[in-house]
Structure 1
Amino acid sequence: MQLTGSQRCAVFLLAMGEEVAADMLGNMQRQEVARIAGAMARLPHVPEREVRAILREARIFLETQADGICADRALAGRLLEHCLGEREARETMREWGPEEPARPFESLERMRPGQLYQLLRQEHPQTLALVLGHLSASRAAGLLMRLPTDMRSLLLEHIGGLAPVDADILDEVDSVLARQAAERSAQDWRPGLQMAAEIVAAAGKEEGRALLADLERHDSRLPSLLGRMVHCPEDCLKLEDGLLEEALEEMSGEALAGVLSTCGPAVRAALLEHVPEVRHPAIERRLRSGEPSTGQAAAYREDFLRCVRQLQAERMQADLDAAKAAGRRAGA
């Protein structure tokens, strides 16, 4: 992707955030500010690999911009006003032309696949297909992999047959889902399976076995499910369906280096195979610069395993929900 110097600068400032961007633009000449803000307002979508390349050139590696950078007209306007004043900012913004309409379901694009699943798991398949068909491929795939196998096939059939949808219908569905997402964001929800797994893990090795043995005597399904939960980084290497990659992607370089510092060479190399190569140089630099304290490394390790267990629980919960729904249909 070929970007101009102004566009590359705009990517950098968008990645750094408004406060840093305002400080940096405040030290530039007015003509430069107008040119960069204009590029920021009209920026095409810049994929993750390009964002990382730009930041790497500046000797900065940013792990939080998982889906690249898009234009931010509002931020560009505020930065212009901060640097040029309200009147001159308004005149400069007129040159940008009319604002492009927002893409449908933009608020959902910023959600993790697990969060999306919790929001959409009870929606009608046609609604799910409509949403999936308008999300980015990576977000749609992350959500699809949490659904039962037969549901995945059904949804792909629906998506393959999607016809153009009226903009008003898209806006209405988007508005309802955005409101539901906002309501959910205020809740600290964790899958029940994850909560049970954390309790068993916290009880200790022997006590945890005793708890699972008691459950088995009551013909519970929990022992078999909880037995699949990871307890160390080595366990994560057995995961399937991209779950390990998703967990590693959510970690900052510092946290990931802290986790790797607690692993032996073989496990460290195996985990790095699931990390995009573009991240390897920054992680290896962190590892060479010195290991974190024992307590900090242990905290990073536990946070990582907790994240993996949550992703596991979300997927297992999807299977349980599907089984319950199938049972209800069979009994109807």
Structure 2
Amino acid sequence: MKQAKNQLKKHLQVSVDGEERELKGAERAAVLLLALGEEHGEPIWRKLDDMEVRQISAAMANLGPVTPAMLEKLFIDFVRRLSSRGSLTGNVEATERLLSSFLPQDRVSIIMEEIRGPAGRNMWEKLSNVQENVLANYLKNEYPQTVAVVLSKIDSEHAARVLSILPEELALEVVSRMLRMDAVQKEVLEKVEQTLRIEFMSNLTNTSRRDSHEMMAEIFNNFDRQTEARFLAALEEENRESADRIKTLMFTFDDLLKLDAASCQTLLRSVEKDLLAVALKGSTDAAREFFFSNMSQRAAKLLLDDMEALGPVRLRDVDEAQTSMVNKAKDLAAKGDIMISKSKSDDQIIY
């Protein structure tokens, strides 16, 4: 704390006799970033978006004198919050309170609506989990080219359901544009994403409630294998329709076997060899054959030797390794590096 205070004094003209006042919102962030200085503050500045940078910069420029008492109070409060109960607890409410302390309320609302909104790691996964009638009702007022871009980026089965609901004239125009559509420029794609985020996603929870099956699918995805099987078996006895719906929404290790060759090879290059060996050690023969077929004979032989050298492995370690591979696949898909789908018939396009 002492070092941070000394650093801040280099940037601010501290008035010992100045009038004390309460630092609020962006002012608090501005003081902390000034205290961190260029070297330690740069990684944080890099993670802020343009709006956050502008707001904190404006607060910093108009900060004026900061008395030692004000500075002391801020750092004590910061340390107290950080060290409370020896840990930090992250939840939706805490996140919203923190964001509200240094971001405009409209920006906080957009971010929180995205968090509370449909499941998915990026905009296109989220749209694939929006009810087709809700998405179609929004898209029917958009330009055909915009609709074509959106439908080319979401899950093909979901796109088909949305397309079938759109007015016939618009739907036919969209189909025509999708057939003639080349690779979408990055700038155009980013503009479409921004529009969807601001105009559609931010208001989505005001018009439709998030599907409970989506939430349960996320929870089931985080179960270990035995717990998942136990809950699904019990649910199948009570409500088979719901169980089938949840299984459809889940993305599991077995779904990796539906990757095309290029996507599988990209995934294999991104996964540590030790983790891959553990994941395949507890997998089915079909899974091993699939991944081996996407390696060179030499690489497959070396991996097989590593698996044999492992000896017995705990089921929990296998589950963790396979979950890591699934999460890596989702990350790669979110970046557009690979294509993942729930069925072989999907023709999802990611630019």
* TM-score under structure 2 length normalisation: 0.34
TM-score by length of 1: 0.35
For the pair shown, the structure with the greater C-alpha radius of gyration is 2
